[in-house]
Amino acid sequence: MTKYKLEYIWLDGYKPTPNLRGKTQIKEFDHFPSLDELPLWGFDGSSTQQAEGHSSDCVLKPVALYPDPARKNGVLVMCEVMMPDGVTPHSTNARATILDDEGAWFGFEQEYFFYKDGRPLGFPEHGYPAPQGPYYTGVGFKNVGDVAREIVEEHLELCLEAGINHEGINAEVAKGQWEFQIFGKGSKKAADEVWMARYLLLRLTEKYGVDIEFHCKPLGDTDWNGSGMHANFSTEYLRTVGGKDYFEALMAAFDKNLMDHIAVYGPDNDKRLTGKHETAPWNKFSYGIADRGASIRVPHSFIKNDYKGYLEDRRPNSQGDPYAIASQILKTVSEVPTKAVAAA
């Protein structure tokens, strides 16, 4: 038998966006455990804004597993928070009620800032570094400093070893700002992996004395970019049938549901979606071919391929909950009749 270190990870009840929490229990198995072998567990919900002190037990239900590359015999256990009966989802458990569809593919581009001493990593103590320009996809000490790349490389390695579908990295437009991309088939799978990648990044940077700033506009109304989490998506219908009529009906539905999307695309997004810095104004829906100033960017390949392929919703922000974002996209998609449905 081997003693496995099981890190149960969940989202707390903080608003507007939850924080990641985790605690370890040791269990013996004679092989790497599977999901159905992991027990329910509990925690003190009164310390995470998920319960009152007089009735504080919440239940953790394992829903996804990843080998933990940073620990010998470690397992990262993504959990949903349940009521004490173990079967009713807690009100803060968004994952339990989202729309899912294995044929829907999501690619999330998670942007974030490294922060140290209350400012982006690489910013001088007073004032600002040289203006934006050379930092995006940049190389060299004056552009990326001496530690950021070490962290992102280590994070990439951790994600790949954990089996997370990490697809790439780049230095971003602002100094101290970076991005990684996670791709998954199905909203739960893709969103679980985004949350787990965030967890690994937060845990990794502890030893560097560096924080991750997920806020979408940490430098406020300045000439420094904010952070997004562009959601690239495609459904089986979009990939295989598509067509101009369907695409235009889909865009009309996105326009109609503008406020429902903005409501789950992350807090303070009006500070980021200003119409400047490669964004569209938050209160007006638009789409455009290869247009990084539109709400939805339509890749050239989509048009060339007879309106088939994937689309990029550029509005979700770095602090958004990928469960809610993916679910809202699927909800709007579900309102648009496909040819097969229309003919039936």
Binding site partner of 234, from Mn ion, ligand ADP, none, Cβ cut-off 5-8 A by kind: ligand ADP
**Least distance (Å) between residue 312 CB and Mn ion:** 5
The whole-angstrom separation of Cα 250 and Cα 334 is 9
Of 59 and 190, nearer to Mn ion (C-beta) is 190
Cα angle 292-215-10, degrees, rounded to a multiple of 5 = 115
Of 43 and 265, nearer to ligand ADP (C-beta) is 265
**Least distance (Å) between residue 109 CB and Mn ion:** 4
Of 137 and 305, nearer to Mn ion (C-beta) is 137
Q: Residue 276 carries which DSSP code?
A: -
Distances, alpha carbon 95 to alpha carbons 48, 82, 91, in Å: 17, 11, 10
Q: List, as own/partner pairs, every contact residues 38-44 make where C-beta atoms lie below 8 angstroms and the sequence separation is at least 24, other chains included.
A: 38/6, 38/62, 38/65, 38/77, 40/82, 40/86, 41/8, 41/79, 43/10
Starting at the edge strand found earlier in the chain, the sheet holding 41-44 runs 20-29, 2-11, 74-82, 57-68, 41-44
Of 148 and 194, nearer to ligand ADP (C-beta) is 194
Of 105 and 323, nearer to ligand ADP (C-beta) is 105
The whole-angstrom separation of Cα 102 and Cα 200 is 25
Binding site partner of 232, from ligand ADP, Mn ion, none, Cβ cut-off 5-8 A by kind: ligand ADP
Length of the chain, please? 344
**Least distance (Å) between residue 50 CB and ligand ADP:** 32
Cα angle 309-262-110, degrees, rounded to a multiple of 5 = 60
**Least distance (Å) between residue 105 CB and ligand ADP:** 4
Residue of minimal CB distance from ligand ADP? Answer: 107
Binding site partner of 107, from Mn ion, ligand ADP, none, Cβ cut-off 5-8 A by kind: ligand ADP
- Residue ranges that bind ligand ADP, judged by CB under 6 A: 105-107, 109, 167, 181, 183, 230, 232-234, 310, 312
- Residue ranges that bind Mn ion, judged by CB under 5 A: 109, 179, 230
Binding site partner of 183, from Mn ion, ligand ADP, none, Cβ cut-off 5-8 A by kind: ligand ADP
Of 21 and 155, nearer to ligand ADP (C-beta) is 155
Contact 95, 79 (CB under 8 A): no
